[in-house]
A = this chain, B = another copy of it.
Amino acid sequence: MLGRRMANTTKITPEEWLETAKQALIQDGVAGVKVDRLAKTLGVTRGGFYHHFKNQQDIIDRLVQHWVDTNDMLPPLEGVSTATEAADKLHELVQRVVLEEDFSSSFDLAIREWARIDEQIKKTVDRVDAGRIRRLKKLFLALGCDEEEAAFRARVFYFHQIGYYAMGYHTRQTRSKRLTAAPIYLHILCGQRYSEAVEKSNRKWA
């Protein structure tokens, strides 16, 4: 019984295999997602793996799908029409990306790296990115930007967030520091319309 995994179940579910693969991907990159290493991590031999997954590619495919299904960087942005609502949504968004609730930037990053060398994964990531940028654009339209400005600001905002995570900057600062800095980033990235909406909102409550 020595050297066995913590879990109380003696049989390993597909979800456990998948979660282990996810952690391996995050910690060791693509090279870490090896069937025998996952088994070692789980404290079993590879025997059971092939009951749940056809082969290595199978768990990889499911891991990418898992990312699509569970790791949305943005909160729901639907039903935003006024500039004030848009500004509020932006605050909510910043809360999410800073606190990383229901979202793992390291998972996002790891998948993104994989996408760079795997054409299939790249297509999936591109689709997800396009969707996120589309949703952000709507936010900037609600803020009062014209089509072109909204399109550009959505991209700049998103690229910046991706770069921020890619640099691992968020791991070097405390949450409170990041939350303090967030409004400054917002003013830089979201422009005049945003600053006006915030000021208006502040006057209302003052």
Residue positions of A touching B, CB distance < 8 A: 27-32, 109-110, 112-113, 116-117, 122, 129, 148, 152-153, 155-156, 158-164, 166-169, 181, 184-185, 188-189, 191
Contacts and interface: CB of A to CB of B under 8 A. Distances in A.
Contact of A112 (B156, B158, B166): B166
Contacts of A185: 152, 156
Chain A interface, >50% SS class: helix
A31 B156 CA distance: 31
Question: How often does this chain occur in the complex, in copies?
Answer: 2
A153 B152 CA distance: 17
A29 B156 contact: no
Given A30-B30, A122-B168, 7 more contacts: A29-B117, A32-B117, A112-B166, A152-B184, A152-B188, A156-B185, A162-B162
28 contacts: A28-B117, A29-B29, A29-B113, A29-B116, A29-B117, A30-B31, A110-B116, A112-B166, A113-B113, A116-B168, A122-B168, A152-B181, A153-B188, A155-B169, A156-B185, A156-B189, A158-B163, A159-B163, A159-B164, A159-B167, A159-B169, A160-B160, A160-B163, A161-B163, A162-B167, A163-B163, A163-B164, A188-B189
